[in-house]
């Protein structure tokens, strides 16, 4: 088991196998930064947006815990089960871009409330 782990660490990923998605050699560290930033930025949402905020916090906290407690990328990918680390980075960046839009357009309000 130890020998295979050492061998795995010696092999570096050269491709994600996904067109347009390059290998990120610092994917784990980048994910930690993005997840922490997400948890900070989501705090600006008002109490009316608690459902969205709670969902973002739960998912992000789960993923952050997995990434922080595991150094092996394969283990992280398997436990989160939503793609490669590079895909997780894209997902996290997408979520970060949604937060200001959600706030600006008050998406917690129903369309009827917004029209009045």
What are the pLDDT digits (tens) for 8-47? 554 577 877 767 768 889 999 999 999 999 999 999 999 9
Confidence bin at 6 (pLDDT 50/70/90): very low
The answer to the question of residue 11 being in a domain is no
Cβ atoms of 96 and 90 closer than 8 Å: no
For the full predicted model, state whether its pTM sits above 0.85.
no
The answer to the question of residue 104 being in a domain is yes
Range of the domain at 83: 24-115
Q: What is the count of structural domains for the chain?
A: 1
The answer to the question of residue 15 being in a domain is no
Average pLDDT over residues 97-111: 94
The answer to the question of residue 10 being in a domain is no
Residue with more model confidence, 59 or 5: 59
pLDDT of residue 50: 96
The DSSP symbol for 11 reads S
CA distance 95 to 9: 30
């Amino acid at each position: 088991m130890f020998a295979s782990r050492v061998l795995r660490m010696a092999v570096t990923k050269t491709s994600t196998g996904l067109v347009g998605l390059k290998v990120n050699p610092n994917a784990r560290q980048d994910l930690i930064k993005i997840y922490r930033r997400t948890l900070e930025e989501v705090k600006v949402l008002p109490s009316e947006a608690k459902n969205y905020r709670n969902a973002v916090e739960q998912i992000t906290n789960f993923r952050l815990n997995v990434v922080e407690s595991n150094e092996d990328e394969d283990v992280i990918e398997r436990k989160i089960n939503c793609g490669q680390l590079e895909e997780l980075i894209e997902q996290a960046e997408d979520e970060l871009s949604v937060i200001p839009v959600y706030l600006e357009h008050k998406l917690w309000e129903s369309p009827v409330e917004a029209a009045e």
